[in-house]
Amino acid sequence: MVIVLAIVRNSFEGRDAARVFALMILVSGIAPIVAPPLGAEILRFTSWRGVFVILAGIGAVLLVAVSVAQSETLPAQARRPAGVGPALRTLGALLRDRDFMPFAGSFALMFAAMFAYIAGSSFVLEDIYGLSPQTYGIVFAANAAGLVTLAHVGGRFVGRVGPLRLLRIGLTLSALGAAGTVVCALTHGSLALVIAALAVLLAANGLNIPNCPGLALQDQGERAGSASALLGLGQFCLGAAAAPLVGLAGPHDMLPMALVVAVCVGSAIAIQLRYALRGARLAGR
C-alpha cells in the first residue's frame, strides 16, 4: 500500500494525482461489497484452505502483472541514499514540513475513524439494535457503496473544484456523521438514524482519504517514498489505537465508538483550520 502511493505520486501531480487516488479508493471500496458473497460461494466448493490457495493464486497473478507492466517510476538521478541516517533525516524533515503534516495527520485521523466504525458497527447494529448478521452484512455493503460512490464523484469533480475543497466538503460530512452518531449514543436514537449517521460518516471518507494523500504528497518530489511510508505508518498506528477503544464499555454501549469517531473527526478538522487552510497558495489548490 505504501509503495503504491509513491508510484502514484511519481507518475501524477496535483489534481491528476487526487483523481488517481480517488480511483484507487473506488476500486478498493468494491472489495467489502463483493468479498463476503464471493467467499461464501467459494466455500460451497472448498474449505478455508481453498480460500488461501485462491488468495495465493491472486498474489501470483499480481506479481506477474507488476513484473510485466509496471516499470520503475522514480528516475535514478532522483533517488536518495539508502541507510538509517538518511532515512531518519528525511523523516525529521517530513515531520517539520507544514505542507505535509497537516494532511498526513488528517489522513491518519480519518482512517482511524473508519477503523472505529469497522470495529464497532457490528456490535452496535447487531447487539444493541438487533440486526441479524445477514442484515448487518447488507448495511455494511450499502455503506461501503456510499464510500465508493463519493470517491467516484470526487474523482470526476476534482479537476474542477480541486482536492482541498473536496477535502473540506468531506470533513464537513464527517462532522455531520460524527455528530449524529454521538446524538444516537446519548439518546438511544432510532435504528434509521444510526444507520444514516454511520452511512454519512463512512461515505465522507470517499472524499477525505483520496484527497489527503494527494495534497500531502504533491510537493514531496524525491521524498515521495518516505512520505508515503510515513502516511502508512500514521494511518495504521492511529487505526490500531482507535479500534480497541470502541469496546471499552462492552457490546451494549455505543458511546465509546461515537466518542472515538468524534475525537478523530474533530481533531482532523482542527488540524485543517490551524495549519492547512492558511495562505493563498493552499487555498488555490
Mean pLDDT (the chain) is: 85
C-alpha cell at 258: 461515537
End-to-end CA distance of the chain: 25
For residues 70 and 7, the answer to whether their CB atoms sit within 8 Å is yes
In this prediction, residue 265 carries a pLDDT of 95
Model pTM above 0.85: no
pLDDT in tens, 132-157: 877 887 888 888 888 888 888 888 88
Report the distance separating Cα 121 and Cα 37, nearest Å.
Answer: 19
pLDDT in tens, 238-283: 988 998 999 888 888 899 999 999 999 999 999 988 875 554 344 4
Question: What's the mean pLDDT in 182-194?
Answer: 93
Q: Name the nearest CA neighbour of 33 among 151, 196, 163.
A: 151
Residue-range domains of the chain with CATH: 2-64+100-275 (1.20.1250)
Which residue is associated with the grid cell 502511493?
Answer: 5
The CA distances from residue 2 to 20, 25, 70, 188, 259, in Å, are 15, 14, 16, 40, 29
For residues 263 and 110, the answer to whether their CB atoms sit within 8 Å is no
pLDDT in tens, 153-170: 888 888 788 888 899 999
Which residue is associated with the grid cell 470533513?
Answer: 171
Residue 121 has pLDDT above 70, yes or no: yes
For residues 29 and 204, the answer to whether their CB atoms sit within 8 Å is no
Tell me the residue type at 242: A
Residue 31 has pLDDT above 80, yes or no: no
Report the distance separating Cα 216 and Cα 185, nearest Å.
Answer: 34
Rg (CA), the chain: 20
What's the pLDDT band for 29 if we cut at 50, 70, 90? low
